[in-house]
Amino acid sequence: LSGSWNSAISVFSENKSNSTICPDLNDWWEIVYYIVPKYIDTICVIGMLGNVFVLFTYSLHKGPLKAAEIFLMNLAVADLIFLTCLPFWAENIRNEFNWPFGNFLCRSTSTSISLNMYTSIYLLVAVSVDRYLTFVHTLNHRGIRSKTVAKGICLLTWFFGILLSIPTFMFRTVKHFPLWNISACTLDFPTPSWVIAESLVFNIVGFVLPSTAITFLNFSTIRSLQKKARERRALGTKSCKDHKGTKATRLIFTVVLMFLLCWTPYHFFVFLDILYQTEVIKSCFWGEVLNFGEQFCYTLATTNSCINPVIYVFVGKYFRQKALEVFSQFIPRGFPLSWVSFKETSSYFNVFPVRSSLT
């Protein structure tokens, strides 16, 4: 969202002035106005219910949270903030980019969405570091992986996200565009160079650097797990701790992979928009590609905020066990818990104090 509505407006403006050259794509925009808001509304409902479920599970569970779970809990909070703001933008698109909610909501929702983008990816860096220290550098890192340190890292991550969101808070405003007779919620920077600088920061600091770190850390962890598995097979031994850790790590890998799959296309179009703003690429063709590309890729990116709870349920065996303990006290006796296998249920009640998740 950081630049998609702005680039749409700037490209619209250029295309309007070149209307004799640029094709008329009003029918395509009607599809955007109809489909995208409905999709975003659906994502919001599913995502809010799912992330509230995650927060209830982690908050009400009697056992202590591990470092990785603290990071995932903060990720759920970030996703909830993001999803709370999205209905305003769905209505904005439905209203053909004519912002109906006033300047305060324009600024506050935009800042909250920007905060989520930065906070989410750096929380995934933190959880990837936790997995890396657990399986690649296994000795002398217990202090680094303590709950106190994890909470401190979360606070720093939120502070860093707030810091990077200050330009959005300062320059987001409702601005009238007489050409289309709309008042759009847009980033009104003092000079064009601010637009390029903001896009570069968002692209590099908000995605390229952290995703590079995430990729390196997770590939290193995968190699370490594969090496340990080969050594165990060679010795003919089995380790319950390693098996448990591998299952927990599979959950983290899935969360990270889905984040990268959902957000990479959008950041690719942000990069293309930087090239367009600097006139490295130009023409009506690229303008229209950027228009539609950023709209649909950002819509794909919003999916990530509702998909994590689904991953926890279907991939995270120990998360399901935690959820079972928390919500079984609200379910009448004899009610069939068909979503948890008998084997999981029995092992949970027998050895749960020893087998806490995401170790």
34-91 pLDDT per residue, tens: 999 999 999 999 999 999 999 999 888 888 888 888 999 999 999 999 999 999 999 9
Q: Show the tokens assigned to 185.
A: 């919620």
CA distances from 318 to 82, 257, 347, 355 (A): 26, 20, 11, 8
pLDDT score at 353: 30
218 part of a folded domain: yes
Q: Are 261 and 211 in contact (CB under 8 A)?
A: no
138 part of a folded domain: yes
Question: SS3 of 172, please?
Answer: strand
Q: Show the tokens assigned to 352.
A: 């749960």
pLDDT score at 9: 46
331 part of a folded domain: no
186 part of a folded domain: yes
Report the CATH number at residue 22. Answer: 1.20.1070.10
Residue range of the domain that includes 248: 4-321+337-347
357 part of a folded domain: no
Integer Cα distance of 292 and 269 in angstroms: 10
pLDDT score at 263: 92
Question: Number of structural domains, the chain?
Answer: 1
User: Which ranges in the chain belong to alpha helices (H)?
Assistant: 4-17, 26-60, 67-94, 102-135, 147-171, 192-203, 209-235, 240-277, 284-302, 304-315, 317-328, 342-351
- Listed in sequence order, the residues at least 6 apart from 222 whose beta carbon sits closer than 8 Å to its beta carbon are 253
76 part of a folded domain: yes
Integer Cα distance of 176 and 116 in angstroms: 27
247 part of a folded domain: yes
At residue 136, what are phi and psi to the nearest 5 degrees? -100, -45
- Which residues of the chain fall below pLDDT 50? 1-3, 5, 7-20, 339-359
pLDDT score at 318: 77
330 part of a folded domain: no
Amino acid at 284: C
